[in-house]
Amino acid sequence: MAELHVENLTVAYGGSRVLNGVSLHVRPGEFVALLGASGCGKTTLLRAVSGFVPVDGGRIAIAGRDVTKAPPERRDTAMVFQSYALWPHMTTAQNIGYGLKLRRWPRPRIAERVAEMLRLLKLDGLADRNVTQLSGGQRQRVALGRALAINPDILLLDEPLSNLDARIRLELRHEIRAVQQRLGITAVHVTHDREEAMVMADRIVILNAGSIAQIGTPEEIYRRPASAFVASFLGADNVVPLQATRTDQTLEIAAGPNHDAVSLPLGNDGAQVEMLGSGEVAAHFRTESVQLASAGQTPADALVLRGHITQTAYPGGRWRYGVAVGGMVFLVDDDERRTVGDAVAIVIPPSALHCFPLREEAAGRA
């Protein structure tokens, strides 16, 4: 099991900075997901680690060895690509064994290693089938087998599931994670899919505009987003402006046109607040973390926003409503069937609130 060190890495394309002094330590045997929107620098970071992108500054070390200037074939990494990148004229077995053939392994040893990969990745019986005759999920397993066959120090995964249909994606998420844990290999996975990162990774690195916005376990970044940007990116994209004052133990929210004054606890089961003193805050909350109540039937220990239903949908399991509060519309899931025009209240428990200074909210959206 190898570790990866990235120190103060900078990369620019045509004078435009893509990575801004990124530093990251991936521990031996750890599965780390690089998560972010298109253009944030996650794929550039992965390709810099693999050696396919030259760096302008900083250092990359794998298993304690400086590989910053080493070519890809000298880094002991293996990449699984979004597009599979398989040889279409070769069979499954030939594709899996291709890297071993380049390394001049003897044929019996290649056959033994390929058979091992076929068993590991549930490809038994497909060794002699041309890869063009395989399904998308099977092709991605072949691409993974080719990468694992050479026993790399670091496994690099560049959005390997994005071309697959939803059912196969869900299946392969767990298969890739199980294989990684079984082999104990260190892995870095690029994705723009929040749920994929949460399900697969030990830790998640959220990138924004070429810099790291937050690093943490899935639970840490979900429960305690470090910024307004991270909160929105991780699903807390309902935002309501409030006037609030923070004390040692509570968040004192002043009354507004569509809500009453309320005192909420801070901390583990209370509101998460990144602010000092008092003033305007942007309170983020997730659709799935709140509930609807009929007007006049609301608790006193939560922030309650008064509004009315403007739209309804049924995505399955629960109803999803658009609720107008003043000039804003929030999405809320609820078990009860309601109709457009109903007066309702959005009940937001303290633990569902992630509050940031309003100036940070504006900067995060700029």
Domains of the chain with bracketed CATH: 4-228 (3.40.50.300), 231-365 (no CATH)
pLDDT of residue 366: 47
Considering only the C-alpha atoms of the chain, give the largest distance between any 2 of them, rounded to a whole number of Å: 78
Residues of the chain with pLDDT under 70: 275-278, 359-366
Neighbours of 339 (CB within 10 A): 8
Cβ neighbors of 93 (< 8 A, separation 6 or more) are 111, 114, 118, 127, 128
**The pTM of the whole model exceeds 0.75:** yes
The count of C-alpha atoms lying within 13 angstroms of the C-alpha of 51, restricted to the half-sphere facing its C-beta, is 17
Tens of pLDDT, residues 162-185: 888 888 888 889 999 999 999 999
* Dihedral over Cα of 99, 103, 108, 112: its sign: negative
Question: pLDDT value at position 256?
Answer: 93
What is the four-CA torsion angle of 220, 28, 152, 35, rounded to 10 degrees?
10
Backbone angles phi, psi at 195, to 5 degrees: -65, -40
Identify the CA nearest to 179 among candidates 160, 195, 193: 160
In this predicted structure, what is the pLDDT of residue 277? Answer: 63
pLDDT tens for 274-299 read 766 668 899 999 988 999 998 777 78
Q: Virtual CA dihedral for 83, 143, 203, 66, nearest 10 degrees?
A: -100
Cα angle 352, 31, 127 (rounded to 5 degrees) comes to 125
Tokens of 298: 């609301």
Neighbours of 103 (CB within 10 A): 11
Burial annotation 132-144 (CB, 10 A radius, 16+ → b, else e): eebeebbbbbbbb
Structure confidence by residue, pLDDT tens digits, 43-57: 999 999 999 999 999
DSSP 210: T
Q: Residue 169 is encoded by which pair of tokens?
A: 């994606």
